[in-house]
Amino acid sequence: MIDIHDWEMLGQLRNRNASLSVIILTARSSIKSKVQGLDFGADDYLTIPFDISELPARLRVSMGIRLYYMYL
């Protein structure tokens, strides 16, 4: 399980810069960890192992969503 301080750090990052894109890359693959990461502000949660070609696609989506909300 991820330490609560990790989630608090994510929340602090979000409070400082709401437009920051955050993708969690981790070996923790439980549904509980995924839900916590997303609830604490991550845009995406990618578990290891993954195909490297998937990461740029997820980055594009994450950045596109942030850009969309910045210009509303």
What is the pTM assigned to this prediction? 0.73
State pLDDT tens for residues 30-69. 999 999 899 888 889 999 999 999 988 888 888 877 665 5
Q: How many domains does the chain have?
A: 1
Mean pLDDT for the stretch of residues 5-22: 80
In the prediction, which pLDDT does 67 show?
65
Query: Residue 26 maps to which CATH number?
Result: 3.40.50.2300
**Contact between 42 and 22 (Cβ < 8 Å):** yes
Cα(25)–Cα(49) distance, integer angstroms? 9
Closest C-alpha among 35, 58, 47 to residue 66? 58
Domain span holding position 44: 4-70
Phi, psi of 58 (to 5 degrees): -65, -35
